[in-house]
Copies of this chain bind each other. A is one copy, B any other.
Amino acid sequence: MDFTFDARTEELREKLLAFMAEHVYPAEPVFHEQLAERENPWTSVPVVEELKAEARKRGLWNFFLPGEHGAGLTNLQYAPLAEITGRSPSLAPIALNCAAPDTGNMEVLAMFGNEQQRKQWLQPLLDGEIRSAFAMTEPDVASSDARNIATRIRRDGADYVINGRKWYISGAMNPNCRIFIVMGKTDPDAEPHRQQSMILVPRDTPGVHVKRGMHVFGYTDGDHGGHAEVVFDDARVPAENLIAEEGSGFAIAQARLGPGRIHHCMRLIGMAERAIELMCRRAVSREAFGKALAQQDVIQEWIAEARVRVEQLRLLVLKTAWLMDTKGNKGAHTEIQAIKIATPASVEWILDKAIQTHGAGGVSQDFPLAELWAAARMLRLADGPDEVHKRSLARRELKRYL
Protein backbone atom coordinates (compact mmCIF):
# COMPACT_ATOMS: atom_id res chain seq x y z
CA MET A 1 0.00 0.00 0.00
CA ASP A 2 2.29 2.71 -1.32
CA PHE A 3 0.70 6.07 -2.12
CA THR A 4 3.90 7.97 -2.78
CA PHE A 5 3.61 10.28 -5.75
CA ASP A 6 6.15 9.13 -8.32
CA ALA A 7 8.29 11.47 -10.41
CA ARG A 8 5.81 11.71 -13.27
CA THR A 9 2.99 12.58 -10.88
CA GLU A 10 5.06 15.23 -9.16
CA GLU A 11 6.03 16.74 -12.49
CA LEU A 12 2.44 16.81 -13.74
CA ARG A 13 1.21 18.23 -10.42
CA GLU A 14 3.67 21.06 -10.70
CA LYS A 15 2.66 21.78 -14.27
CA LEU A 16 -1.02 21.57 -13.40
CA LEU A 17 -0.69 23.86 -10.37
CA ALA A 18 1.03 26.41 -12.58
CA PHE A 19 -1.74 26.13 -15.16
CA MET A 20 -4.39 26.59 -12.45
CA ALA A 21 -2.67 29.66 -11.06
CA GLU A 22 -1.82 31.24 -14.40
CA HIS A 23 -4.93 30.40 -16.39
CA VAL A 24 -7.78 28.66 -14.63
CA TYR A 25 -8.39 30.82 -11.56
CA PRO A 26 -8.01 34.03 -13.58
CA ALA A 27 -10.50 32.64 -16.09
CA GLU A 28 -13.25 32.10 -13.50
CA PRO A 29 -14.68 35.64 -13.57
CA VAL A 30 -14.34 35.79 -17.35
CA PHE A 31 -16.20 32.52 -17.60
CA HIS A 32 -19.13 33.86 -15.60
CA GLU A 33 -19.29 37.01 -17.68
CA GLN A 34 -19.27 35.04 -20.91
CA LEU A 35 -21.92 32.68 -19.60
CA ALA A 36 -24.15 35.65 -18.80
CA GLU A 37 -23.71 37.02 -22.28
CA ARG A 38 -24.07 33.99 -24.53
CA GLU A 39 -27.25 33.61 -26.52
CA ASN A 40 -27.83 29.88 -26.30
CA PRO A 41 -27.88 28.97 -22.61
CA TRP A 42 -26.50 25.50 -23.29
CA THR A 43 -23.38 26.20 -25.30
CA SER A 44 -19.82 26.45 -24.16
CA VAL A 45 -18.05 29.82 -24.11
CA PRO A 46 -14.80 31.04 -25.74
CA VAL A 47 -12.68 31.07 -22.58
CA VAL A 48 -13.18 27.33 -22.25
CA GLU A 49 -11.81 26.72 -25.71
CA GLU A 50 -8.85 28.94 -24.92
CA LEU A 51 -8.14 26.98 -21.77
CA LYS A 52 -8.37 23.71 -23.67
CA ALA A 53 -5.87 24.90 -26.25
CA GLU A 54 -3.48 26.10 -23.58
CA ALA A 55 -3.77 22.90 -21.53
CA ARG A 56 -3.18 20.70 -24.54
CA LYS A 57 -0.17 22.77 -25.48
CA ARG A 58 1.21 22.20 -21.98
CA GLY A 59 0.69 18.46 -22.17
CA LEU A 60 -2.17 18.53 -19.68
CA TRP A 61 -4.62 16.45 -21.67
CA ASN A 62 -6.68 13.29 -21.36
CA PHE A 63 -5.14 12.39 -18.02
CA PHE A 64 -8.13 10.26 -17.12
CA LEU A 65 -7.57 7.64 -19.81
CA PRO A 66 -5.20 4.76 -19.19
CA GLY A 67 -3.68 2.93 -22.13
CA GLU A 68 -2.50 4.12 -25.50
CA HIS A 69 -5.40 6.46 -26.30
CA GLY A 70 -4.91 8.70 -23.29
CA ALA A 71 -2.15 9.98 -21.08
CA GLY A 72 -1.53 6.47 -19.82
CA LEU A 73 -1.63 7.36 -16.15
CA THR A 74 -2.51 4.93 -13.41
CA ASN A 75 -5.39 5.77 -11.11
CA LEU A 76 -2.92 6.59 -8.37
CA GLN A 77 -1.12 9.00 -10.67
CA TYR A 78 -4.35 10.58 -11.81
CA ALA A 79 -5.89 10.97 -8.35
CA PRO A 80 -3.91 14.01 -7.12
CA LEU A 81 -4.29 15.67 -10.52
CA ALA A 82 -8.05 15.16 -10.60
CA GLU A 83 -8.23 16.56 -7.06
CA ILE A 84 -6.55 19.73 -8.23
CA THR A 85 -9.02 20.14 -11.08
CA GLY A 86 -11.83 19.77 -8.55
CA ARG A 87 -10.85 23.11 -7.07
CA SER A 88 -12.32 24.77 -10.14
CA PRO A 89 -14.75 22.12 -11.30
CA SER A 90 -16.50 24.13 -14.00
CA LEU A 91 -13.28 24.92 -15.83
CA ALA A 92 -10.34 22.73 -14.99
CA PRO A 93 -11.71 19.26 -15.85
CA ILE A 94 -13.05 20.40 -19.22
CA ALA A 95 -9.85 22.36 -19.92
CA LEU A 96 -7.90 19.10 -19.60
CA ASN A 97 -10.52 17.16 -21.57
CA CYS A 98 -11.19 15.25 -18.38
CA ALA A 99 -14.84 16.16 -17.81
CA ALA A 100 -17.71 13.78 -17.24
CA PRO A 101 -19.57 12.30 -18.98
CA ASP A 102 -17.13 12.35 -21.91
CA THR A 103 -14.49 10.61 -19.85
CA GLY A 104 -16.67 7.60 -19.20
CA ASN A 105 -17.87 7.54 -22.77
CA MET A 106 -14.32 7.61 -24.08
CA GLU A 107 -13.47 4.73 -21.75
CA VAL A 108 -16.37 2.73 -23.11
CA LEU A 109 -15.32 3.40 -26.68
CA ALA A 110 -11.66 2.68 -25.96
CA MET A 111 -12.46 -0.58 -24.20
CA PHE A 112 -15.49 -1.88 -26.04
CA GLY A 113 -15.79 0.09 -29.31
CA ASN A 114 -14.75 -1.43 -32.60
CA GLU A 115 -12.30 0.26 -34.89
CA GLN A 116 -14.90 2.13 -36.89
CA GLN A 117 -16.63 3.40 -33.72
CA ARG A 118 -13.34 4.52 -32.25
CA LYS A 119 -12.38 6.30 -35.42
CA GLN A 120 -15.69 8.06 -35.83
CA TRP A 121 -16.42 9.03 -32.24
CA LEU A 122 -13.50 8.36 -29.92
CA GLN A 123 -10.99 10.38 -31.91
CA PRO A 124 -12.93 13.68 -31.98
CA LEU A 125 -13.73 13.21 -28.32
CA LEU A 126 -10.06 12.67 -27.50
CA ASP A 127 -9.34 15.82 -29.46
CA GLY A 128 -11.96 17.74 -27.50
CA GLU A 129 -13.82 18.64 -30.69
CA ILE A 130 -17.20 17.23 -29.85
CA ARG A 131 -18.98 16.21 -26.69
CA SER A 132 -21.03 13.15 -25.83
CA ALA A 133 -23.77 11.92 -23.51
CA PHE A 134 -24.56 8.74 -21.64
CA ALA A 135 -28.27 8.02 -21.80
CA MET A 136 -29.08 5.58 -19.04
CA THR A 137 -31.32 7.07 -16.32
CA GLU A 138 -35.06 7.01 -16.91
CA PRO A 139 -37.73 8.97 -15.10
CA ASP A 140 -40.17 6.10 -14.82
CA VAL A 141 -38.04 3.44 -13.13
CA ALA A 142 -35.61 3.24 -10.22
CA SER A 143 -32.55 3.41 -12.43
CA SER A 144 -30.16 2.59 -9.60
CA ASP A 145 -31.11 -0.97 -10.45
CA ALA A 146 -29.81 -1.01 -14.01
CA ARG A 147 -31.93 -4.03 -14.76
CA ASN A 148 -34.98 -1.77 -14.56
CA ILE A 149 -33.97 0.33 -17.57
CA ALA A 150 -36.96 0.01 -19.88
CA THR A 151 -35.94 1.73 -23.11
CA ARG A 152 -36.40 -0.71 -25.94
CA ILE A 153 -33.67 -1.35 -28.56
CA ARG A 154 -35.32 -3.54 -31.13
CA ARG A 155 -33.53 -5.18 -34.07
CA ASP A 156 -35.18 -4.45 -37.39
CA GLY A 157 -33.33 -5.78 -40.38
CA ALA A 158 -30.00 -4.04 -40.64
CA ASP A 159 -30.99 -1.47 -38.03
CA TYR A 160 -31.89 -1.08 -34.43
CA VAL A 161 -34.95 0.98 -33.52
CA ILE A 162 -34.96 2.74 -30.16
CA ASN A 163 -37.93 3.83 -28.10
CA GLY A 164 -37.87 5.23 -24.61
CA ARG A 165 -37.63 8.24 -22.35
CA LYS A 166 -34.43 9.27 -20.55
CA TRP A 167 -33.65 12.17 -18.23
CA TYR A 168 -30.72 13.77 -16.47
CA ILE A 169 -28.66 13.02 -19.60
CA SER A 170 -25.76 15.30 -18.71
CA GLY A 171 -24.34 17.44 -21.44
CA ALA A 172 -27.03 16.63 -23.96
CA MET A 173 -28.49 20.14 -24.16
CA ASN A 174 -25.26 21.35 -25.74
CA PRO A 175 -25.67 21.28 -29.52
CA ASN A 176 -22.06 20.16 -29.82
CA CYS A 177 -22.91 17.01 -27.90
CA ARG A 178 -22.98 14.91 -31.06
CA ILE A 179 -23.27 11.35 -29.89
CA PHE A 180 -25.34 9.53 -27.27
CA ILE A 181 -24.50 6.15 -25.80
CA VAL A 182 -27.94 4.76 -25.11
CA MET A 183 -28.67 1.89 -22.78
CA GLY A 184 -31.77 -0.19 -23.32
CA LYS A 185 -33.24 -3.65 -23.61
CA THR A 186 -32.47 -5.71 -26.65
CA ASP A 187 -33.87 -8.88 -25.14
CA PRO A 188 -36.43 -8.46 -22.34
CA ASP A 189 -36.70 -12.22 -22.02
CA ALA A 190 -33.02 -12.91 -21.35
CA GLU A 191 -31.81 -13.44 -17.82
CA PRO A 192 -31.76 -10.11 -15.97
CA HIS A 193 -28.09 -9.25 -16.46
CA ARG A 194 -28.15 -10.01 -20.19
CA GLN A 195 -31.19 -8.02 -21.27
CA GLN A 196 -29.45 -4.69 -21.79
CA SER A 197 -27.25 -3.38 -24.59
CA MET A 198 -25.56 -0.09 -25.41
CA ILE A 199 -25.81 1.59 -28.73
CA LEU A 200 -24.43 4.72 -30.37
CA VAL A 201 -27.11 7.19 -31.41
CA PRO A 202 -25.99 10.37 -33.17
CA ARG A 203 -27.77 13.47 -31.99
CA ASP A 204 -29.19 14.23 -35.42
CA THR A 205 -30.90 10.85 -35.79
CA PRO A 206 -34.58 11.32 -36.66
CA GLY A 207 -36.73 10.39 -33.67
CA VAL A 208 -34.25 11.78 -31.13
CA HIS A 209 -36.00 14.58 -29.26
CA VAL A 210 -34.02 16.60 -26.74
CA LYS A 211 -36.94 18.02 -24.76
CA ARG A 212 -35.71 20.19 -21.93
CA GLY A 213 -32.98 20.73 -19.37
CA MET A 214 -33.55 19.22 -15.96
CA HIS A 215 -32.54 21.28 -12.93
CA VAL A 216 -30.37 20.43 -9.92
CA PHE A 217 -31.78 22.59 -7.21
CA GLY A 218 -31.97 25.88 -9.12
CA TYR A 219 -29.03 25.16 -11.38
CA THR A 220 -29.35 24.19 -15.02
CA ASP A 221 -25.63 23.39 -15.35
CA GLY A 222 -25.91 25.07 -18.70
CA ASP A 223 -22.19 25.67 -18.82
CA HIS A 224 -21.55 22.00 -19.44
CA GLY A 225 -24.57 21.20 -21.50
CA GLY A 226 -27.19 20.78 -18.78
CA HIS A 227 -29.06 17.59 -17.96
CA ALA A 228 -31.49 16.78 -20.73
CA GLU A 229 -34.72 14.92 -20.93
CA VAL A 230 -34.49 13.00 -24.18
CA VAL A 231 -37.20 11.00 -25.91
CA PHE A 232 -36.34 8.32 -28.42
CA ASP A 233 -39.28 7.81 -30.71
CA ASP A 234 -38.54 5.15 -33.30
CA ALA A 235 -34.99 6.38 -33.58
CA ARG A 236 -33.31 4.16 -36.12
CA VAL A 237 -29.57 3.52 -36.35
CA PRO A 238 -27.53 0.94 -38.26
CA ALA A 239 -26.84 -2.31 -36.45
CA GLU A 240 -23.10 -1.53 -36.50
CA ASN A 241 -23.76 1.13 -33.90
CA LEU A 242 -24.19 -1.49 -31.21
CA ILE A 243 -21.32 -1.45 -28.74
CA ALA A 244 -19.80 -4.89 -28.28
CA GLU A 245 -22.54 -7.46 -28.42
CA GLU A 246 -26.20 -7.78 -27.53
CA GLY A 247 -26.71 -8.34 -23.82
CA SER A 248 -23.42 -6.78 -22.75
CA GLY A 249 -24.98 -3.48 -21.62
CA PHE A 250 -25.12 -4.27 -17.92
CA ALA A 251 -21.49 -5.39 -17.85
CA ILE A 252 -20.30 -2.31 -19.76
CA ALA A 253 -22.26 -0.06 -17.40
CA GLN A 254 -20.57 -1.68 -14.43
CA ALA A 255 -17.16 -1.27 -16.04
CA ARG A 256 -17.90 2.37 -16.79
CA LEU A 257 -19.17 3.28 -13.34
CA GLY A 258 -16.16 2.29 -11.25
CA PRO A 259 -13.72 4.80 -12.71
CA GLY A 260 -16.52 7.37 -12.98
CA ARG A 261 -17.17 7.14 -9.27
CA ILE A 262 -13.56 7.53 -8.24
CA HIS A 263 -13.10 10.49 -10.59
CA HIS A 264 -16.07 12.21 -8.96
CA CYS A 265 -14.63 11.54 -5.54
CA MET A 266 -11.19 12.85 -6.45
CA ARG A 267 -12.70 16.09 -7.70
CA LEU A 268 -14.99 16.35 -4.67
CA ILE A 269 -11.91 16.39 -2.47
CA GLY A 270 -10.58 19.32 -4.44
CA MET A 271 -13.93 21.02 -4.00
CA ALA A 272 -13.69 20.43 -0.27
CA GLU A 273 -10.22 21.96 -0.18
CA ARG A 274 -11.50 24.98 -2.04
CA ALA A 275 -14.35 25.25 0.47
CA ILE A 276 -11.98 25.06 3.44
CA GLU A 277 -9.82 27.75 1.91
CA LEU A 278 -12.79 30.03 1.32
CA MET A 279 -14.12 29.34 4.82
CA CYS A 280 -10.78 30.24 6.38
CA ARG A 281 -10.36 33.36 4.28
CA ARG A 282 -13.82 34.52 5.21
CA ALA A 283 -13.29 33.70 8.87
CA VAL A 284 -10.14 35.76 9.18
CA SER A 285 -11.54 38.71 7.27
CA ARG A 286 -15.06 39.07 8.65
CA GLU A 287 -16.02 40.48 12.01
CA ALA A 288 -19.24 39.97 13.92
CA PHE A 289 -20.16 40.94 17.45
CA GLY A 290 -16.75 42.42 18.05
CA LYS A 291 -14.41 39.67 16.96
CA ALA A 292 -13.29 37.93 13.78
CA LEU A 293 -15.33 34.86 12.85
CA ALA A 294 -12.02 32.97 13.05
CA GLN A 295 -12.00 33.51 16.78
CA GLN A 296 -15.37 31.85 17.34
CA ASP A 297 -15.04 28.33 18.71
CA VAL A 298 -17.94 27.11 16.64
CA ILE A 299 -16.30 28.09 13.39
CA GLN A 300 -13.02 26.62 14.58
CA GLU A 301 -14.87 23.35 15.21
CA TRP A 302 -16.18 23.39 11.64
CA ILE A 303 -12.75 24.00 10.22
CA ALA A 304 -11.17 21.26 12.32
CA GLU A 305 -13.88 18.79 11.48
CA ALA A 306 -13.60 19.65 7.79
CA ARG A 307 -9.85 19.13 7.82
CA VAL A 308 -10.13 15.83 9.68
CA ARG A 309 -12.74 14.55 7.25
CA VAL A 310 -10.87 15.56 4.12
CA GLU A 311 -7.69 13.87 5.27
CA GLN A 312 -9.56 10.63 5.79
CA LEU A 313 -11.40 10.83 2.49
CA ARG A 314 -8.27 11.54 0.49
CA LEU A 315 -6.47 8.54 1.94
CA LEU A 316 -9.39 6.26 1.18
CA VAL A 317 -9.55 7.54 -2.38
CA LEU A 318 -5.81 6.99 -2.80
CA LYS A 319 -6.11 3.49 -1.44
CA THR A 320 -8.95 2.81 -3.84
CA ALA A 321 -6.93 4.10 -6.77
CA TRP A 322 -4.00 1.95 -5.72
CA LEU A 323 -6.26 -1.09 -5.42
CA MET A 324 -7.76 -0.47 -8.86
CA ASP A 325 -4.25 -0.29 -10.27
CA THR A 326 -3.03 -3.41 -8.52
CA LYS A 327 -6.10 -5.63 -8.25
CA GLY A 328 -8.39 -4.28 -10.91
CA ASN A 329 -11.77 -2.60 -10.55
CA LYS A 330 -13.33 -5.77 -9.21
CA GLY A 331 -10.71 -6.08 -6.49
CA ALA A 332 -11.52 -2.53 -5.46
CA HIS A 333 -15.28 -3.00 -5.47
CA THR A 334 -15.78 -2.49 -1.73
CA GLU A 335 -13.51 0.54 -1.66
CA ILE A 336 -15.18 2.15 -4.68
CA GLN A 337 -18.49 1.82 -2.89
CA ALA A 338 -16.98 3.11 0.32
CA ILE A 339 -15.73 6.33 -1.27
CA LYS A 340 -19.02 6.76 -3.12
CA ILE A 341 -20.80 6.54 0.23
CA ALA A 342 -18.41 8.69 2.22
CA THR A 343 -17.22 11.44 -0.10
CA PRO A 344 -20.34 13.25 -1.35
CA ALA A 345 -21.90 13.22 2.13
CA SER A 346 -18.79 14.54 3.90
CA VAL A 347 -18.08 17.15 1.26
CA GLU A 348 -21.71 18.26 1.35
CA TRP A 349 -21.30 18.81 5.09
CA ILE A 350 -18.12 20.82 4.59
CA LEU A 351 -19.74 22.96 1.92
CA ASP A 352 -22.71 23.60 4.18
CA LYS A 353 -20.43 24.97 6.87
CA ALA A 354 -18.49 27.06 4.38
CA ILE A 355 -21.80 28.49 3.18
CA GLN A 356 -22.91 29.25 6.72
CA THR A 357 -19.61 31.06 7.33
CA HIS A 358 -20.33 33.29 4.34
CA GLY A 359 -23.81 34.36 5.42
CA ALA A 360 -26.13 35.27 2.55
CA GLY A 361 -23.09 35.41 0.26
CA GLY A 362 -22.73 31.68 0.76
CA VAL A 363 -25.96 30.85 -1.03
CA SER A 364 -25.38 33.44 -3.76
CA GLN A 365 -23.78 33.46 -7.19
CA ASP A 366 -20.88 35.54 -5.85
CA PHE A 367 -19.16 32.53 -4.32
CA PRO A 368 -18.93 29.06 -5.85
CA LEU A 369 -20.09 27.36 -2.66
CA ALA A 370 -23.80 26.93 -3.28
CA GLU A 371 -23.26 25.52 -6.76
CA LEU A 372 -20.59 23.16 -5.47
CA TRP A 373 -22.99 22.11 -2.74
CA ALA A 374 -25.65 21.23 -5.31
CA ALA A 375 -23.11 19.17 -7.22
CA ALA A 376 -22.09 17.27 -4.09
CA ARG A 377 -25.72 16.74 -3.10
CA MET A 378 -26.53 15.42 -6.55
CA LEU A 379 -23.78 12.85 -6.17
CA ARG A 380 -25.60 11.33 -3.21
CA LEU A 381 -28.13 10.29 -5.85
CA ALA A 382 -26.23 10.00 -9.12
CA ASP A 383 -24.65 6.65 -10.04
CA GLY A 384 -26.83 5.02 -7.39
CA PRO A 385 -28.16 6.62 -4.21
CA ASP A 386 -26.21 6.21 -0.97
CA GLU A 387 -28.75 3.71 0.32
CA VAL A 388 -28.17 1.28 -2.55
CA HIS A 389 -24.42 1.33 -2.10
CA LYS A 390 -24.68 0.90 1.65
CA ARG A 391 -26.92 -2.12 1.34
CA SER A 392 -24.63 -3.70 -1.20
CA LEU A 393 -21.48 -3.06 0.82
CA ALA A 394 -23.12 -4.39 3.99
CA ARG A 395 -24.24 -7.57 2.31
CA ARG A 396 -20.68 -8.30 1.28
CA GLU A 397 -19.52 -7.69 4.85
CA LEU A 398 -22.26 -9.93 6.24
CA LYS A 399 -21.46 -12.75 3.83
CA ARG A 400 -18.28 -13.46 5.77
CA TYR A 401 -20.41 -14.59 8.69
CA LEU A 402 -22.96 -16.69 6.89
Contact = CB atoms under 8 A, between A and B. Distances in A.
Contacts of A210: none
6 contacts: A2-B4, A143-B360, A215-B370, A218-B371, A301-B387, A315-B316
Contact of A393 (B215, B220, B307, B391): B307
Contacts of A319: 311, 315
A40 interface: no
Interface string A363-388: 11110001101100110111001111
A277 to B, nearest CB: 8
A205 to B, nearest CB: 24
Q: For chain A, what secondary structure do more than half of its interface residues adopt (helix, strand, loop), or is it mixed?
A: helix
A144 B286 CA distance: 12
A276 interface: yes
Interface magnitude class on chain A: 35 or more
A132 B167 CA distance: 40
A116 to B, nearest CB: 33
B378 A142 contact: no
A7 interface: no
A261 interface: no
B304 A301 contact: no
Contact of A214 (B143, B360, B374, B388): B360
Contact of A301 (B338, B377, B394): B394
A263 to B, nearest CB: 19
6 pairs of A and B residues whose beta carbons are closest in the complex: A218-B218, A218-B219, A142-B288, A300-B394, A312-B312, A315-B315
Residue of A4, A218, A276, A393 with highest tally of chain B CB at under 10 A:
A218
A244 interface: no
A265 to B, nearest CB: 12
A243 B144 CA distance: 53
Contacts of A287: 142
A364 B214 contact: yes
A240 B137 CA distance: 61
